[in-house]
Amino acid sequence: MNFQQGAFGLPTDFREWILLGYILTVVAGAWVLGQLGRAHFRRAQEYAEAGFEYDAELDYYRCPEGERLSLHIIEPGGRVAVYRAAASSCDGCSRKDSCTPHDGGRHLYRPLATWAESDSGRFHQWVAVVMNGGATAVGAVAAIWWAGKPGTGLVLIASMLAAASFVTGLCARAEQFEKKK
Amino acid sequence: MPDSRGSMVVSRMWPQALALTFVVGFAILGYLAIRVYQDHAPVPERIIGEDGLLLATGDDIRNGQQVFLTYGLMQYGSVYGHGAYLGPDFTADYLHREAELMAGYYGGGPEAEARAREELRVNRYDPTNGTLVRNEAQIRAFQELQQLYKSEFLNRKRSGAGLGANAVPDAEDCRRITVFIAWTAWTAVARRPGESYSYTNNWPPEELVGNRLTEEAVLWSALSLITLLGGIGALLAAYGRFPQLLGWHGAEERRLKFVPPGQVPLTPAQRATGWYFFAVAGMLVAQNLLGGATAHYHAEDGGFFGIDLARLLPYNLARTWHLQLALFVVSAGFLAGGLFLAPLISGGEPRGQRPLALILLGALVMVVVGSLLGEAASYHGILQGDDRPLWGAQGWEYLDLGRFWQVLLVGGMVLWVIILFRGLRPRLAGESRGNLPYLLLYSALSIPLFYAVGLACRSQSTFAVADFWRFWVVHLWVEDFLELFSTILVACIFAQLGVVSERTAVRVVYLDAILYSVGGVVGTMHHFYFSGGPAVHMALGAFFSAAEVIPLTFLTVEAWTFLHLGARQQAAAGPGDFPHRWAVLFLVAVGFWNFLGAGVFGFLINLPAISYYEIGTQLTANHAHASMAGVYLMLTLAMLIFALRYLLRPEDWSERLIGFSFWALNLGLAWMVFVNLFPLGLLQLGDSVQNGYWHARSLEFFKDHRLIEWLRLPGDAVFIAGGLPLLYLTTKAVLRPRLPLWQGGGAAGPLFREEVPGRSSPPAAPPEASS
């Protein structure tokens, strides 16, 4: 792999290409990780609510049979909202056996914490912070190894992108921490 | 006589589909077993010069392999890319140097190189009389390399390169080891009869001898990729078409009131598991420290901040202990998890479980201490002759322990299955044979069964044959059957915690087992592309291991969501009411690492076209750490913390310490992977393509990249620190055991009761128990 010396400021050493690609991939991967973690959090919510439609404006659920589940209570601590269908409408429903074992009507639980406030959200966000920190450190090593060589500028730009993502992630975590306090 | 058993909670189609998957998978694997015995690279009975002079015998090769293994050289460097990563790959190194020396013997220059290349590629082995002929240039190269290996690695005057001084003191042993290495190099270059490639499918890549990727490797890599992409598309289409069948939809979440852990009575055997978890935590701390030491060898070449570490704890011994302890940590954690869960599933336990559990613990301690000391005695030359593989080290990576300890460990696992069976028997009596308690028992049975396959590897077995069976343990035992057992344990825990119904849990288990086994059973052969077996292993291994990724993608994505359901239970239970916040978070971490470490990092190195350049580099270590520590360790710790919640007195439980462990272990591992193993592995892969495999595996490569090795240190330190609180808390669990103790009569468990929200409920009463 021989690259034209210094053309367009591109790296001449295959190792520079590898680490340049690596840094950009890890920064992108950290972003994707956040999106995936959020998606799984949402899917877990969708599994629990499958077949039920939520009306955010009027704050109620509608079941597959068209019955309404109104807000019943918000648990102490404000982390979970409980919605309940009228017992009378469930008792006469043909789907009751597969829907709810309760005689008090079908319930739905809606966590009020956002993904970022959840333990799972914190885990995925911290891993993303470490990934960006790692990419920054690798970029710094690459800059030391190949200081002055063609292509170092590109590696430095990629490292700065990683550093910016790292700092942004840290700030977001600090903000959440303050909010929690 | 009417069957008094309950009915299956899922359709009978599920177990039938699983049985069919196993039958087909193992039939193919059986065929491949026959082929490997028929077509492995031959071991010549006589190696002679062109003048007819005897140079070496088949016994020299076999004994050389035994000495190589029992001195722990497979845990220092590798042959055929299999082994450890600090020392060179001896096959590739010998081949490269041999080609250079032969060209030098012929006067150097392109013509001499071409002559050496041709002579090396010609297969002069005569199977009718078992004789291999070597020419003068090859004999001289052997003599020079024998001296070089002796002075550089085997019998150094001063410690260095990761080994102590005089590591292999006997000159005859050094010669035999070189004979064995030279034989592996011969198999890597001599053309397989009737074929245009070598016994190792042209591995290693080496321009000097014309070893390049075979057409078969390219073809099967391409076909595997097409299968993978097509399969994922088909799976996603099926998932969209049958979402009700494959998901966990429509069930009502239950509002549960958890019994305070301090009020849940523990059975005597459950109490005994405190000692198991104490041993797990102790071994984890030791294993982490040893991991730090092995990593440090890459940064300092045997020194440890001024201490001559290679003299006290050579790299091969540190790595052997590191790896063996990793297996012991996971195995002991799973054994303890099974013992702890059995009374919760069956509702009680028979008399005599605790003494049996303690006997098993004693056997486990004996195996751990005995095998680790035996390995040290073997590597340091304290044991001699046949005692070395019997009591010391057999030396196959992952199956390092002496044969006596290996047999004892299999016996211990059988005893564990018996204990588990006794514990589950009350529940099994009235249960359908396809439901969760039976699935737990079947998967427990598979653990000793597939570990015992490793007994087929002996230190003098033909390499390809032994490697074939070795990967039944490394892949089938670890990656398939431990995975299956752990899935069932998680399903049991989630059923116990009310996260999912038993019906959902059973369906998840069947789906998991079927999808893993479709590709995973024959996919075992993806470890076996270049070990001297026939090309059909590479073809089927590549195809099925790519197919393995299809369900893996689905399963890891599903498992990720599945494990999030646990986190929802925490939210639904309300703040402070859910006792298993950290156990569930460890499971969320398992979901993430399973996707990244097993899925993404595993597939990166799976295709023959990649593996050809990559095998034995830090990309393999990257996959190993992210999946072994990320998945199996986190899973073990999820079980440990789940049990610890009940084993500790309430006042001894510390959210802060467990939280520290969780964050330190996960973020330390992430740092280790993203700062060191992954980028260094990519650089090594690039170096392998650019400068040849032998170069990428040389000690010089690591010397050139020391800065990135030092960067790993903070992550390792944080990871090591993460194990300490667990040791502290498990010590408390055994020194200050909690009451009350279950004494029969009532149910052991349950861990919660259901309540209707909004209705005032009395405080949770403890189940029937006496303190």
DSSP B348-379: S--TTHHHHHHHHHHHHHHHHHHHHHHHHHHH
Q: Is the pLDDT of residue A146 over 90?
A: no
**Average pLDDT along chain B:** 88
Q: Could you give the C-alpha distances from B512 to B237, B241, B448, B483, B552, in angstroms and in order?
A: 18, 19, 21, 9, 9
Kindly report the length of chain B. 771
Amino acid at site B602: G
Using a pLDDT cut of 90, give the percent of chain B over it. Answer: 66
Q: Could you give the C-alpha distances from B543 to A161, B37, B223, B537, B611, in angstroms and in order?
A: 39, 22, 7, 10, 14
Residue B585 to chain A, least CA–CA distance (Å): 7
Residue B68 binned pLDDT confidence (cut-offs 50, 70, 90) = very high
Residue A9 to chain B, least CA–CA distance (Å): 21
Instruction: State residue B256 phi and psi, 5-degree precision.
Output: -115, 145
Q: Is the pLDDT of residue B100 over 90?
A: yes
Query: Is the previous residue joined to B169 through a cis bond, with omega within 30 degrees of 0?
Result: no
Residue B737 binned pLDDT confidence (cut-offs 50, 70, 90) = confident
Higher-confidence residue: B707 or B573?
B707
Least confident of A34-38, A127-131, B283-287: A34-38
Name the 3-class secondary structure at A156: helix
Q: Which chain A residue's Cα is nearest to B582?
A: A119
**Average pLDDT along chain A:** 84
Encode pLDDT of A40-72 as tens digits. Answer: 777 777 777 878 899 989 999 999 889 999 998
| pLDDT at residue number B547 | 72
Question: Cα(B369)–Cα(B58) distance, rounded to whole angstroms?
Answer: 35
Encode pLDDT of B666-715 as tens digits. Answer: 999 999 999 999 999 999 999 999 999 999 999 999 999 999 999 999 99
Chain B CB contacts of A40 under 8 Å are 557, 560-561, 564, 591
Pull the structure tokens for residue B491: 């399903």
Going along chain A, which residue ranges are E strands?
53-55, 60-62, 68-74, 80-85, 107-111
Taking a C-beta distance cutoff of 8 angstroms, is the pair B148, B101 a contact? no
CA-nearest of B628, B546, B636, B548 to B594 is B628
| pLDDT at residue number B768 | 31
Most confident by average pLDDT, A139-148, B3-12, B431-440, B655-664:
B655-664
**Residue-by-residue DSSP string for B308-357:** EHHHHS-HHHHHHHHHHHHHHHHHHHHHHHHHHHHHHHHSS--TTHHHHH
**Residue-by-residue DSSP string for B399-455:** EEE-HHHHHHHHHHHHHHHHHHHHHHHHHHHTS-TTSHHHHHHHHHHHHHHHHHGGG
Higher-confidence residue: A8 or B348?
B348
Least confident of A142-151, B482-491, B747-756: B747-756
Name the 3-class secondary structure at A129: helix
Pull the structure tokens for residue B388: 């070395």
Encode pLDDT of B446-457 as tens digits. Answer: 999 999 999 999
CA-nearest of B318, B289, B325 to B398 is B325
**Contact yes or no for B666 and A131 at CB 8 A:** no
Q: Could you give the C-alpha distances from A58 to A55, A67, A79, A83, in angstroms and in order?
A: 6, 14, 19, 13
Chain A CB contacts of B708 under 8 Å are 138, 141
Residue B750 binned pLDDT confidence (cut-offs 50, 70, 90) = low
**Contact yes or no for A141 and B247 at CB 8 A:** no
Q: Which chain A residue's Cα is nearest to B589?
A: A123
The CA dihedral of A113, A114, A117, A119, to the nearest 10 degrees, is: 80
Question: Cα(B672)–Cα(B658) distance, rounded to whole angstroms?
Answer: 21
Which member of B568, B584, B588 has the closest CB to residue A48?
A: B568
Encode pLDDT of A67-108 as tens digits. Answer: 999 998 887 666 678 888 998 888 888 888 778 777 778 888
Compute the C-alpha angle A40/A41/A45, nearest 5°: 110
If you average pLDDT over residues B608-634, what whole number do you get?
A: 94
């996960």: which residue's tokens?
Answer: B666
**Contact yes or no for B667 and A126 at CB 8 A:** yes
Q: Is the pLDDT of residue B239 over 70?
A: no
| pLDDT at residue number B345 | 86
Query: Is the previous residue joined to B389 through a cis bond, with omega within 30 degrees of 0?
Result: no
Residue A29 to chain B, least CA–CA distance (Å): 10
| pLDDT at residue number A7 | 59
Least confident of B460-474, B496-510, B653-667, B736-750: B736-750
| pLDDT at residue number B544 | 82
Question: Cα(B676)–Cα(B684) distance, rounded to whole angstroms?
Answer: 12
Using a pLDDT cut of 70, give the percent of chain B over it. Answer: 89
Q: Is the pLDDT of residue B253 over 70?
A: no
**Contact yes or no for A138 and B758 at CB 8 A:** no
Going along B203-247, which residue ranges are E strands?
none
Encode pLDDT of B181-227 as tens digits. Answer: 999 999 999 999 999 999 999 999 999 999 999 998 899 889 888 88
Taking a C-beta distance cutoff of 8 angstroms, is the pair B764, B263 a contact? yes
**Contact yes or no for B572 and A26 at CB 8 A:** no
Task: Count CB atoms within 10 A of the CB of residue B12.
Answer: 11
User: ipTM score of the complex?
Assistant: 0.85
Question: Cα(B153)–Cα(B161) distance, rounded to whole angstroms?
Answer: 7
Give the strand pairing for B54-57 and B399-401. unpaired
**Contact yes or no for A102 and B756 at CB 8 A:** yes
SS (H, E, C) B493-507: HHHHCCCCCHHHHHH
Contacts made by residues B286-289, CB under 8 angstroms, sequence distance 24+: B286/B321, B286/B325, B287/B321, B287/B322, B287/B325, B287/B326, B287/B329, B288/B716, B288/B719, B288/B720, B288/B722, B288/B723, B289/B720
Higher-confidence residue: B539 or B413?
B413
Which member of B247, B561, B757 has the closest CB to residue A107?
A: B757
| pLDDT at residue number B507 | 84
| pLDDT at residue number B297 | 93
Mutate to test the interface with A, among B257, B508, B568, B709 (most CBs of A within 10 A): B568
Instruction: Please enumerate in sequence order all residues whose Cβ is within 8 A of that of A164, keeping only pairs 6 or more positions apart, or say none.
Output: none
Chain A CB contacts of B684 under 8 Å are none
B703 in contact with A, Cβ within 8 Å: no
Residue B322 to chain A, least CA–CA distance (Å): 25
**Contact yes or no for A73 and B758 at CB 8 A:** yes
Mutate to test the interface with A, among B561, B590, B678, B753 (most CBs of A within 10 A): B561
Question: B109, exposed or middle or buried, with CB in 10 Å at 0-12, 13-18, 19+?
Answer: exposed
Q: Is the pLDDT of residue B248 over 70?
A: no
B3 in contact with A, Cβ within 8 Å: no
Sign of CA dihedral B318, B322, B323, B329: positive
Which member of A18, A44, A131 has the closest CB to residue B674?
A: A131
Pull the structure tokens for residue B435: 């439901």
Higher-confidence residue: B485 or A117?
B485
Mutate to test the interface with B, among A26, A45, A109, A118 (most CBs of B within 10 A): A109
| pLDDT at residue number B57 | 97
Report B:410-469 residues touching A (Cβ under 8 A): none
Q: Is the pLDDT of residue A181 over 70?
A: no
If you average pLDDT over residues B568-572, what whole number do you get?
A: 56
Query: Is the previous residue joined to B679 through a cis bond, with omega within 30 degrees of 0?
Result: no
Question: Model's pTM, two decimal places?
Answer: 0.90
Residue B58 binned pLDDT confidence (cut-offs 50, 70, 90) = very high
**CB pairs A-B closer than 8 Å:** 146
Pull the structure tokens for residue B572: 């639904």
Most confident by average pLDDT, A77-91, B156-170, B259-273, B283-297:
B283-297
Question: Cα(B445)–Cα(B338) distance, rounded to whole angstroms?
Answer: 12
Q: Is the pLDDT of residue B566 over 80?
A: no
Report B:574-613 residues touching A (Cβ under 8 A): 574-575, 581, 584-585, 588-589, 591-592, 595
Question: Cα(B405)–Cα(B350) distance, rounded to whole angstroms?
Answer: 30
**Contact yes or no for B757 and A37 at CB 8 A:** no
CA-nearest of B618, B463, B428 to B43 is B463
If you average pLDDT over residues B508-530, what whole number do you get?
A: 86
Name the 3-class secondary structure at B621: helix
| DSSP conformational letter for B282 | H
If you average pLDDT over residues B250-259, what whole number do you get?
A: 62
Which member of A50, A130, A145 has the closest CB to residue B671?
A: A130
Question: Cα(B677)–Cα(B597) distance, rounded to whole angstroms?
Answer: 12
Q: Which helix (DSSP H) or strand (DSSP E) does residue B138 occupy?
A: helix B136-149
Question: Cα(B510)–Cα(B516) distance, rounded to whole angstroms?
Answer: 10
**What's CA B12's distance to the chain center, in Å?**
33
Q: Which helix (DSSP H) or strand (DSSP E) does residue B724 occupy?
A: helix B713-735
